[in-house]
Amino acid sequence: MPTIKFTNLSVHVIDFFYPQHKKGRFLRFHHITFWVGNAKQAASFYSDKMGFERFAYKGLETGSRDVAAHVVRQGKIMFVFESALNPGHKEMGEHLMKHGDGVKDIAFQVEDCDYLIKTAKERGAVIVKEPWVEQDSHGKVNIQWPFPAWIQRCLLFHRFWSIDDKQIHTQFSALRSIVVTNYEETIKMPINEPAQGEKKSQIQEYVDYNGGPGVQHIALNSSNIIETIVNLRARGMEFLSAPDTYYDILREKLRTAKIKVKEDLDRLQELRILVDFDDNGYLLQIFSKPVQDRPTLFLEVIQRYNHYGFGAGNFKSLFEAIEKDQDARGNLTALTPDGQNKAF
């Protein structure tokens, strides 16, 4: 009799019926709007340091009296920087004072914007600004917090993946993370919140300096992360550094891994690019330092090979690298017994 040998067991459980709109759908991120103190200079940071191209402008010369906007673009990625021209622009002034430079809103390209807005309203969404719709039916909705519950209830996103503070913590700080996505899973947003640890979580540091929740980082895909990071570094972008021990441990883990990393590990180490993997694929990622004075928004560059995670295997080393900088800012402070901590 020929022997039969099974090697592995895998159980696939369908545990959710993901909600889907009857009509219309979310397609992709369309653009991100930033409110900043000086849109002209912010746009030139993204052009000069990150290779974005100037795409559109409005300001006094074009008849815009209150707000200047500089739009930069790279392939499908579009960033809009806006700042107030009119010294009496209360909303922008107050926003800037509270949050500093940062993301104001996220625009999704959709099909059937009217229907999506109508049903979002029926489910309790408050429309801050009525959507405007262009030929490409790209709508813009101002979103509210608490974001995970809101986006699931009103926009019918579902939970893609989540981890809790028991899995993700350093010696000092912890966080909980859930990733939400649309029905087709073309848009993914990890949502992180601070969890109680020994010291102030880096997520709490963000919340303190941003004056509340907001966009913490934006990930940009690259099809050649090594070349991208070489060029970004040459243009003066600054990134967080994992220690050499991270690469010692990585080499050890990769020796018994089912996948093979194509890139030269020495090169990845030299550039401080992180690697996370499972049995089927891997990702390469790196995080910038904050892109403004406040320790709030930063950027991520990511390259994926059949791997759809967010680098959970790197969280610990990454957070330790963040904590090093957090400490240098005087913000890796001990918590009082009730978990509270004065930021300012």
Ligand X SMILES: O=C(O)C(=O)Cc1ccc(O)cc1
List residues near ligand X by CB under 6 A: 177, 190, 192, 202, 300, 310-311, 318
Q: Which residue, chain included where needed, has tokens 């010696």? A: 171
Q: Which is nearer to ligand X, 139 or 313 (CB)?
A: 313
Q: How far is the CB of 109 from ligand X (least distance, A)?
A: 21
From the list Fe ion, ligand X, none, which binds 197 (C-beta under 5 to 8 Å, kind-based)? Answer: none
State the binding partner of 303 from Fe ion, ligand X, none, CB within 5 to 8 A by kind. none
Per-residue x/- track, 280-319, Fe ion (CB under 5 A): --------------------x-------------------
Instruction: Determine which residue in the list 219, 230, 257, 265 makes contact with Fe ion, applying CB under 5 A.
Output: 219
Structural contact between residues 290 and 297, judged by C-beta atoms closer than 8 angstroms: yes
Chain residues 48-67 in contact with Fe ion, contact rule CB under 5 A: none
The partner in contact with residue 261, picked from Fe ion, ligand X, none with C-beta cut-offs of 5 to 8 angstroms by kind, is none
Gap between the Cα atoms of 51 and 74, Å rounded: 8
Cα–Cα distance between 263 and 226 in angstroms, integer?
Answer: 8
* Smallest distance, Fe ion to C-beta of residue 218, A: 8
82 CB contacts (<8 Å, ≥6 apart)? 33, 34, 35, 36, 39, 67, 68, 69, 92, 104
Residue 92, helix vs strand vs coil: helix
Pull the structure tokens for residue 89.
């622009």
- Class of residue 9 by CB neighbours under 10 A (exposed 0-12, middle 13-18, buried 19+): exposed
Peptide bond into 146 cis (omega under 30): yes
Q: Which residues contact 211 (CB under 8 A, 6 or more apart)?
A: 98, 99
- By beta-carbon distance, which residue lies closest to ligand X? 190
Closer CB to ligand X, 239 or 310, in the complex:
310
Closer CB to ligand X, residue 24 or residue 311? 311
Binding interface with Fe ion (CB under 5 A): 219, 300
